[in-house]
Chains A and B, each alone.
Chain A
Amino acid sequence: MKKIMILLFVSLFSFSVNSNAKSITLGWAAWDPANALQELTKEFTAETGIEVNFEFVPWPNFADRMLNELNNKGKTFDLLIGDSQWIGAGAVYGHYVKLNDFFDKEGISMSDFSPATVYAYSTWPKGSKNYYALPAMGDALAWAYRKDWFDRPELKSEFKKKHGYDLGVPANWNQLHDMCKFFQGREIDGQKRYGAAINTERGSEGITMGVTAAMYAWGMEYENPNKPYDMEGYFNSPQAVEAVEFYRKLYEDCAPPGHSDAYMVANLDAYKSGQVAFQMNWYAFWPGVSKEDSDGRVSGFFANPKQNVAAATLGGQGISVVKYSDKQDLALEYIKWFARPDVQQKWWDLGGYSCHNDVLNSPSFPTSTVYAQGFLDSMGIVKDFWQEPTFVELMLPMQEAIHDYVVNGKGTAKGALDKIIAEWVEVFEADGKL
C-alpha cells in the first residue's frame, strides 16, 4: 500500500512539474479579440507543445486586476496584453521585461510594425528605442452607423432638404451632430430611434476615451511641446473647451435616454438592439458587429471624423513578458512565434488587428473587410492619453470632471478642464516631474 501511495505521489508530482514546465498563462481583457487569439494560439501549442492558459478579465475590472497583479509582483501571468497607457508604469516600475536584446537575437525588427503602434504600445520613454512590448492589437476609437437607414430614399431626401448635403459618412463633427440629431426620436419601422450611443461611462476610462475623440479632432494638445507638463493654455485651450462643449451637446441632443454611464458593451447593445443610428466604439468590435448584421441591418464604419485636424483616440495593446514570471523563456518563445508575418496574417483573418506592415501594406488589405480602410486611416492619426506611470491618477480626475460637466450638466467646460489641470499638476508634482 505504501509503495502504491509513493508511486501515486511521484506520478502526480511529475505530472504537475511537467505541466508547469510546458505551459504559460496569458492575461488579457475578455472580449472578441481574446477569443480570436485563443483560437490562433492552438497553432502555437501544436508547433511547440507549450500549452497556453488564458485568463480574460472583463473590461471594467481589467485595469484593477492586472495592475494589482503587477504591483504585487504576482506570478499569475507570464504574458500580459496590457493597455497602451500602462507601458510607462510597466517600464519604470520594472513590471515588464525589456525586449531589445531578445528582438536583436531573434531578428525581430520594430520597423516591420506600423510606426504609430510601435510608438504607442512598445516604447518607453515615448519614441525611444527601448521596447517593452510587441504591438499585438492595433485599435482606435471609430464609428459604426446604420447604412441601411442611410440608404433609404425618403430619409436621404428629407435630410438633404433640411441640411443641404447628403446623408452619408460625416465629414466632420458638425455633420455628425446633424445626422445624429436627424435620427433622434425618429420613428423607423414602427420603433422610436435615437442618434448615437457615445461613451459616457464614469467608473474606468469610458467618458475620457469618448471626449478625447472630440478634443483631439479640435486640435487639443496635452502639454506645451517645448515644455513638458506645462498644460495651461494647451489642455484647456479654446479649441479644447469647444470640443468638450460639443461633446455635451452631442450627449444632450443625440444619446438615447438612460445612456448616462455607457461604454463598450452598452454602446454595442444600444446599436444591436436597433436603438441608435450611430455608435462610437473600438475597431476590435467591428468584426462582431459586421458578422451579426441581420434582420435588414447593414452596418457601415468610418474613422473618427475630423474637425480642425484629423485625429482619433488610440486603443489597442502590446504584448509584454512579465518580469516576475518564472517562465520568461517560454513567454518569449510565444512572442517570437506571434511576431511571424504568417501568424500576423492569420491573426487579422481571425478578427484580431495586426500591426505588422506585411499585413497592413498588403494590396488586398483595404478591401479585405468593410472596416479595414477605416482602420488604416485611423492608425495614421491616433493620439493617446498620458502614458505616464501615474496614468490612473491622471485618468480619475478627468473621468470625474468630464462626467460632471457632460452628463451631470454641472459647471462649464473650461471649469472642468481647469479642475483637471489642477489635479494633474498635483500628480506630476508628487511624481517629481514638476
Chain B
Amino acid sequence: MSVKKKFKGLSDKAVGWLFIGPTVLLLLAINIYPLVYAIKMSFTNFYANKIGREPQFVGLKNYIKVLNKEAIWEKMQVTASFMFWTLLLQAIIGLGLALLLNRKFKGNELLTTLIVLPMMLSPAVVGVFWTYLYNPQVGLFNYVVNFFYDLGSFDMIGSSILAPWAIVIVDTWMWTPFTMLICLAGLRSVPNYLYEAAEVDRASKWQQFIYITLPSVLPFLLLALLFRGIENFKMFDMVVELTSGGPGSATELASINLKREAFEKWKTGYSSAFAVILFVTIFGFGNVYVKVMNKIKER
C-alpha cells in the first residue's frame, strides 16, 4: 500500500499531528516531565541517595535557603562576570573577524576554516589541553606573554585573580568563531547597492559602517550573543576540566555548584529549587532579550 493511499482520508491537520506527534511526545518525556518533576521536588526535602526515606513537603524552604545563601550569590556573581566578559569579547572580536573575512583576498576560505576549528572541539578536551597551555613551567601561553612582556612566572589557573580570566580567554578562543560565522552571514546579506548609494552620497567608510553595516549585522550579532549567553549560563565541562571551579571557588559557576549540590551532595530538593531559580532567570532574561532583538529588527 502506498503512503499516499495510507494517508488518504486523513485531514491535513491530522497528518500534521502525525508528523509532529513523536517530537511532541519526546519533548514531553525528556523536557517537560523532568521540569515538572523538578518543580515538584523543589518543594520537598528529598535526597536521591537516601533510599527508603520518603520526601516531605517543606513549602518554600528550599527557595528561601537558596536565595539567602551567600555562597550562591557568589557563584551567581562569578557566572555573571564570566558571561559579561565572554560575550563582550566574542562580540567585538567576532564582528572584527567577520568584517575581515568579508573582504575578498587570497586564502580567505582557508583562513575561515582555520578560525572555526576551535569550536569543533569538545569543550572537555579544550579544558584539558588549555591546562597544559597555562602551565607556568612549560605552557605556551606563559611563554608568549613573557616573550612580549616579562612578567616572570605566573599561574593562570592557580591564582584567584587570573583564573576567572583564564576561563574567559579559553571560552573566547573557542566560541568567537561562532559569533564570527553568524556575523559573516549577516554581512553577506547586506545588498551592495546600499554601499553604492552611500558612495554616491559621498559617505565615508566609517559612516557606511555605522549607518549600513552595523544596523544590518546587529540582529545577527544579537542572535549569536543570545545563543552564547544561554550556553555560557550553563557552562560546565570546559571550566571543570580547566579549574574544577578553583582556586577555592573563584571560578565555580552556578552550574558547577548545582551539579555538586545535586549529584555529589545529593540534596535533590534543594538543588531542584536552585535549578528552577536558574531556569526562571535564564528564561526571563531570554524573553526580554528576544523582545528587544525583535524591536531592533523592526527598525
Contact = CB atoms under 8 A, between A and B. Distances in A.
Interface of A: 64, 67-68, 71, 73, 89, 93-94, 201-203, 256-261, 275, 392-393, 396, 400-401, 403-405, 407-410, 430
11 contacts: A201-B244, A202-B247, A258-B135, A260-B246, A261-B131, A261-B158, A392-B264, A396-B265, A400-B248, A408-B248, A430-B45
A400 B244 CA distance: 10
A331 to B, nearest CB: 21
B49 A261 contact: no
A260 B265 contact: no
Contacts of B250: 408
Q: Which 8 A-B pairs have the closest CB atoms?
A: A404-B248, A260-B158, A202-B246, A203-B244, A257-B136, A408-B247, A408-B248, A258-B136
A257 B155 contact: yes
Given A71-B48, A396-B260, A260 B244 contact: no
A260 B247 contact: yes
Contact of A68 (B137, B249, B263): B263
B219 interface: no
Contacts of B264: 64, 392-393, 396
Given A392-B265, A393-B266, A396-B265, A260 B248 contact: no
Contacts of A71: 48-49, 51, 266
Which of A64, A68, A201, A261 is packed against the most chain B CB atoms within 10 Å?
A261
B243 A261 contact: yes
B153 interface: yes
Interface string B243-267: 1111111101000000010011111
Interface string B107-143: 0000000000000000000000001001111010000
A231 B191 CA distance: 72
Contact of A258 (B155, B160, B252): B155
A202 B257 CA distance: 13
A41 B137 CA distance: 42
Contacts of B246: 202-203, 260-261, 403, 407-408
Nearest to B261: A396
Given A71-B51, A260-B159, 7 more contacts: A202-B244, A256-B137, A258-B158, A260-B155, A261-B243, A400-B248, A408-B246
Contacts of A89: 49
A313 B250 CA distance: 28
A257 B153 CA distance: 8
B103 interface: no
A393 B263 CA distance: 10
B226 to A, nearest CB: 31
Contacts of A202: 243-248
Contacts of A257: 136-137, 153, 155
B249 A400 contact: yes
B137 A93 contact: no
B66 interface: no
B168 interface: no
B282 to A, nearest CB: 25
Contacts of A400: 248-249, 252
Contacts of A405: 248
Contacts of B131: 261
A408 B252 CA distance: 13
B299 interface: no
Contacts of A67: 49
Contacts of A68: 263
B115 to A, nearest CB: 29
Given A392-B266, A393-B266, A203 B240 contact: yes
A73 B249 CA distance: 33
Nearest to A262: B158
A393 B265 contact: yes
Nearest to A202: B246
A110 B48 CA distance: 33
A242 to B, nearest CB: 21
A258 B137 contact: yes
B137 A410 contact: no
A405 B248 CA distance: 7
Contacts of A258: 134-137, 139, 155, 157-158
Interface in B135-166: 135-137, 139, 153, 155, 157-160
Nearest to A206: B244
A405 B249 CA distance: 10
B248 A93 contact: no
A169 B252 CA distance: 39
Contacts of B160: 408-410
Given A71-B266, A407-B248, A410-B248, A93 B49 contact: yes
